[in-house]
Amino acid sequence: METTTRRLSPSQVEHYNTQGYVIYDQPVLPEPTFRRLLNIFEEDLEQYGYDGLDVIHFRDSRLLDIVLGKEVLDLVEPVVGPNIGLWSTHFIAKQPKVGKATPWHEDSSYWNGRVSTMAGICTIWLALDRATKENGCMAVIPGTHDNGFSSYVPVDESQNIFSSEIDPSEIDESKAVYMELEPNRCSLHEGRIIHGAKPNTSDLRRSGYTIRFFPTTSKVYPEKNPGHKIWLARGEDIAGNQYEN
């Protein structure tokens, strides 16, 4: 049996639990693995385009070796627990100058009813390109992961990737923390935290790979997730979920 190595320190775990996020400013993957991931991304981007990269591991099984690998699971286990399911992955890329804004939102608001609880769902946001304020890096509002279901209002889709955003009266943007990351570094955020991103106003592309995990104490409802696939990543299933082999 492979030994687990906790890649987050106790203080990083405490920060994640209290603030809803943590920045991991060390290489996530060995350099050859990261280069392989970059090559896969470029191939998939060429084949599927900027808007066709959601749940990309459904179509490109090469990614499973990476996202279910020890380096990734050792990183997420300290905050998810020893029994881990793979919820989804997504290449996210914003083109230079024309990349739209990602309005303030909670991931949990899009998953409402699909899983028994939003608590414990964790997203790794792995930088493929350098992520800066200028090219639209992700930002979070610390400590807002206690609810996950804010009030939403319509927003202009020509300027945003979603059709709604959290009511601006509920957001204190002065508290926003911007996740500026070098390639092969990452942030981790809890599924209920308020987060978003500015448009890409720079001359540089901004791309990342999100990898989302859930504790297998949570039940994923098949009838609410038609066509969606989940994998048992580590440990054992607790809630009676249906996994891919």
Looking at residue 179, which CATH number applies to its domain? Answer: 2.60.120.620
The long-range contacts involving 114-118, CB below 8 angstroms and separated by at least 24 positions, are 114/220, 114/221, 114/224, 114/225, 114/228, 115/214, 115/218, 115/219, 115/220, 115/221, 116/218, 116/219, 116/220, 116/221, 116/239, 117/218, 118/148, 118/191, 118/192
The answer to whether residues 159 and 165 touch, using CB atoms and an 8 Å cutoff, is no
For residue 105, tell me if it sits in a domain. yes
For residue 241, tell me if it sits in a domain. no
For residue 213, tell me if it sits in a domain. yes
% of the chain surpassing 70 pLDDT: 98
- The pLDDT, as a whole number, for residue 1 is 52
Token pair 């202009």 in the structure block, residue: 156
- The pLDDT, as a whole number, for residue 159 is 82
Number of domains in the chain: 1
Residue 160 has pLDDT above 90, yes or no: no
Residue 2 has pLDDT above 70, yes or no: no
* Full domain range(s) for residue 29: 10-232
98 confidence band (pLDDT: 50, 70, 90): confident
For residue 239, tell me if it sits in a domain. no
pTM: 0.95
For residue 243, tell me if it sits in a domain. no
Both tokens assigned to 168: 């601006």
Residue 155, Cα to own-chain centre: how many angstroms?
22
For residue 25, tell me if it sits in a domain. yes
- Phi then psi dihedrals of residue 131, to 5 deg: -110, 125
Give the pLDDT mean for 86-103: 91
Q: Using one digit for the tens of pLDDT, what is the confidence trace for 55-70?
A: 999 999 999 999 999 9
* CA separation for the pair 200, 98 (Å, rounded): 6
For residue 3, tell me if it sits in a domain. no
For residue 244, tell me if it sits in a domain. no
